[in-house]
Chains A and B, each alone.
Chain A
């Protein structure tokens, strides 16, 4: 079975308030899909709809070929997915082992399978030595890791991770991020809710930006390229009028100028850079090096999100 997500015009309203408006997206099998958006954008509501926790108001969505909202498909979807909610929701009085063991029972795993899975994930996440300690005594990072292990206990091929590194310190964030990258190598499909753009850029194959409505979707690289100007920085021994004149003569705009560097806005650097460099050299400029000035996903995100306000 192909573990994909297909969403068409999905909408969720609470009374007169629309939390998610006409969202359409597709997540391929084995892909890490980043769902970006500010707080209150509807990310958690979308995940809850896809995980069959709340109903949709309209639209259509299938998860692993099963349709959300179809009562006979709901338990099949829930059996197939793993969910890490925004609030980890561990049983604080119970040990790490028992937290996982009860979830193994909820998914009807045999005792033997539960033992194997618990040992595997607790060792993988560095919690095996703490298996008998109450979850309530764990640090935030440890709790987050335990909650991820809980979401994986039944070996789901599709994971919904809602803000997995939010409120973690940088070291714990990195551990969790590295673990997500390990899961990616195992070809699991991961739907990642985050407002951390750096995280999305590092982990995700595809991203979608949501602010009640879907604003943009694509790979982080495509979004960067399609939604912001590309720039090149040309480092020279000296920038003089002849050099700047040469660039302008070609019709390119200079975004930034210092004594020894120019940042030039280009549309197609692969094609236009040789032409620019040739003209600079002809004008007497002595080029030291050329680099692309990358727009970050953050630039694109802010541009898009602010654009909708």
Chain B
């Protein structure tokens, strides 16, 4: 795989996304909502006349809210990746692309980069806003700045791995469907295992401690590797030209 070739494919996708502003909006809406809404909810809850939440519970709530970035990391890439691949299928633009000297791996890597960069960047930017707002609202009651901390660091380590899994699964799904909406709907099913993890954390079955988040990162890295081989097997020019409908 050649990074320069892959970047050329990704750059073309980025240019198309600039014209398709809805794809960008879909990517930044979720992290922005999480970044702004939860801090304001917490602020309201701990600062109203009769606080609904004791200030001492604020750290655990902030940790819990931050998991929504993790859930977002699997949802957000579905919009971009499915648009990228299904869009190429609909415009029948893959055949001339496949006729260039690029390898299947170059194109796959390019598609992976274009599917990964915007969602991960949006989540990282959202998390910075989240941390800043949370610190702003809680410093007075906690007496210290809660963020940045290792917990958020561990989450932000898991985010690109979860997004990568989402991109790979969407590449596999996009090979089988003919419209972007179906691909997005199927891809969005990936959020359920993460919602399951969220519930498991709340029920203390698998609490999101730093150690558990690192275990999750390791598991996702292995899953990513497995999905990489599956998506690579799916993304072969003969397969694309003769079987992708």
User: Hey, which bits of chain A sit against chain B, CB under 8 A?
Assistant: 14, 48, 51, 53-55, 75-76, 78-79, 81, 83, 85, 87-94, 98, 102-103, 105-108, 134, 147, 150-151
Contacts and interface: CB of A to CB of B under 8 A. Distances in A.
B91 A81 contact: no
B8 A87 contact: no
B100 A103 contact: yes
Contacts of A87: 92, 95
B86 to A, nearest CB: 14
A110 B106 CA distance: 19
Interface string B104-133: 000000000000000000000000000000
Interface string B203-224: 0000000000000000000000
A94 B16 contact: yes
B19 A106 contact: no
A76 B100 CA distance: 10
B98 to A, nearest CB: 6
B176 interface: no
A91 B93 CA distance: 7
Question: Which 10 A-B residue pairings sit nearest by Cβ, starting from the closest?
Answer: A87-B92, A89-B93, A83-B99, A93-B19, A106-B100, A89-B92, A79-B101, A105-B8, A85-B95, A75-B101
A103 B96 CA distance: 9
Contacts of A51: 99
A102 B8 contact: yes
A91 B103 CA distance: 20
Q: Tell me which of B98, B103, B238 has the highest count of chain A C-beta atoms within 10 A of its own C-beta.
A: B98
Given A51-B99, A55-B238, A94-B19, A89 B94 contact: yes
Contacts of A105: 8, 11
Contacts of B19: 93-94, 134
A102 B99 contact: no
Interface residues of B, number: 27
A268 B147 CA distance: 97
Contact of A93 (B9, B16, B95, B238): B16
Contact of A48 (B4, B100, B241): B241
Contacts of B94: 89
A228 B167 CA distance: 60
A56 to B, nearest CB: 11
B5 interface: yes
Contact of B99 (A76, A81, A90, A91): A81
Given A53-B241, A75-B103, A106 B97 contact: yes
A207 to B, nearest CB: 24
Contacts of A102: 8, 11-12, 15
B91 A54 contact: no
B56 interface: no
B13 to A, nearest CB: 10
Contacts of B237: 53-54
